[in-house]
Amino acid sequence: MTEAATLEAVTTTSGRVSGITRDKHLAFLGIPYAKAKRFAAPQAPDSWTGVKAADAIGLAAPQTTHLIAGFSASGPQGEDCLNLNVFTPATDDKRRSVMFWIHGGGFTHGAGYEPLYNGGPLATRGDVVVVTINYRLGALGFLRLPEIGAHGNQGLLDCIAALSWVRDNIRAFGGDPEQVTIFGESAGSAAVGCLLGMPAARGLFRRAIMESGAGRAATPETADKQVDALLKELSLDRSKVRDLLTIDPREIVRAQTAVLQSFPSGTARGFGPVKDPGVMPDEPLRMVRNGLAKAIDIVIGSNRDENKLFVPPKREPIDDAALVAGVCAAVPTTDKSAAQNLIETYRASRGSKKLPTDNLDILDAIGSDVRFRIPSLRLALGQRAAGGKAFVYLFTHASPARRGALGSCHALELPFVFGTLNAPTQDRFAGTGVDVERLSRDVMDAWLAFARSGDPAAKAVGAWSAYDETKRPTMVFDTRASREENDPFGEERRALEALI
């Protein structure tokens, strides 16, 4: 990739910026979109005189390393992390559609500057403007402790501040502020789900793509428990809560990690969105069902084997009794008899499709659907019932990594979405060859078509019908060919939904 400084500066509301020229597009990196004191809501960024060189990535939010490769930020970190990157074919007056990316990472990790999220290939293939952001994470981004000015949801307010920056500035980068599509994966998708119903986000985007995450919001009571656990880990009591405003952010991140490990799995475990009447009225699914997003077109979906990214690389086989116990834990509303019937349904379904059927594979399949697929389908139906439109996909390409053990795991679609199959390690994770490249073009073109028109049907993939409860049309993105199917893996879905 060749790079050189841009010859002309672009004027933003805070000052002028210059970027870099890359292959067939321009990149502006690390532009401040807001500033914020610790735990406070974001404010307008400081202005500057002269021309700021937007030729290097900014800071990501403070975070730890992570056992999963690529999960944590690979570059610089710090509290001054409210910055974004713009990728555009030209800084002219063409008014291109805008694609606004929110990275994942469990609301504790990740960065918008990763090579995986390079917006250049999307910008050039689709003649769109791509924006990727960094936002506050973990306790620094979501702690709810009003007595020190931490009202919760700071990270979501950062996303809204970045969208407001896009509204006010993107025209100078060749984009159209009236044609903004927000998209994200995992926690980024959950953030998208929250933004669908947040009053402060209304009017800032027109469409939404949600990859592997329907969204969540903890209750204030749960948030209070997280505060108590964090204070205990930091050896602080409620009389010393203001110390949180000045202690080293690395200490907060360290304590936050210990808190995450001490909580049982579930909503209470992680720092993230919190219900708040004025900011985050309810959980995303309820907000969608209540019609708060009916004017927003949605694409939503999941990967076939999501949970396989989160399991240890080496696991001992489990016997039938352990499988039943695992299913009962994953589906708490079931009993042993119902769990056994569910297992038999999944095993027959997977076997008929020549997919792995040992006990661990069945446990992973059920866990993937409980955690990702079923919530996504319910949100799509909620949007339909409220009078809106949603399109559903299922990504089934299998990773060659670990001799195929990862299957179509969580995050596998990302290099296909961005056209970044040449990013570091993606040859081993996503694969190589003509079928892989074709699949990436399929996904990119569908996302681009949706961003431009609200209809994800593209020439390569053909018709893609809006989701409904009768036929359940779904775009299956597969290695061999992408195609629309009615209710893929329907026998599994019906058996599981009967229990949850």
Q: Which residues have a catalytic role annotated? A: 186, 306, 410
Q: Token pair of 298, please? A: 């949605």
Can you list the alpha helix ranges (DSSP code H) found in 353-466?
Answer: 359-368, 374-385, 414-418, 426-429, 434-453
Neighbours of 97 (CB within 10 A): 23
Query: Is 221:254 a contact under the CB 8 Å cutoff?
Result: no
Q: How far apart are the first and last CA of the chain?
A: 49
Distance (Å, whole) CA 68 – CA 400? 16
User: Which amino acid is it at 169?
Assistant: N
Query: Is 207:176 a contact under the CB 8 Å cutoff?
Result: no
Distance (Å, whole) CA 234 – CA 243? 10
Can you list the alpha helix ranges (DSSP code H) found in 87-205?
Answer: 120-126, 138-142, 154-169, 187-195
Contacts of 266 (CB under 8 A, 6+ apart): none
Instruction: State phi, psi for 371 to the nearest 5 degrees.
Output: -85, -35
Residue 227, CB half-sphere, CA atoms under 13 Å: how many?
Answer: 24
Q: Which of 166, 158, 150 is nearest to 134 (CA)?
A: 158
| Burial bucket for residue 129 (CB in 10 Å: 0-12, 13-18, 19+) | buried
Distance (Å) of CA 177 to CA 83, 131, 223, 382 = 18, 12, 35, 27
Distance (Å, whole) CA 485 – CA 483? 6
3-state class (DSSP) for residue 170: helix
3-state class (DSSP) for residue 218: strand
Element holding 184 (H helix, E strand): strand 175-185
Eight-class DSSP state of 468: -
Distance (Å, whole) CA 53 – CA 399? 39
Q: In b/e form, how buried is each residue of 151-160, taking b as 16+ CB within 10 angstroms?
A: bbbbbbbbbb
Distance (Å, whole) CA 435 – CA 440? 9
Contacts of 314 (CB under 8 A, 6+ apart): none
Q: Which of 347, 338, 339 is nearest to 365 (CA)?
A: 347
Distance (Å, whole) CA 481 – CA 497? 28
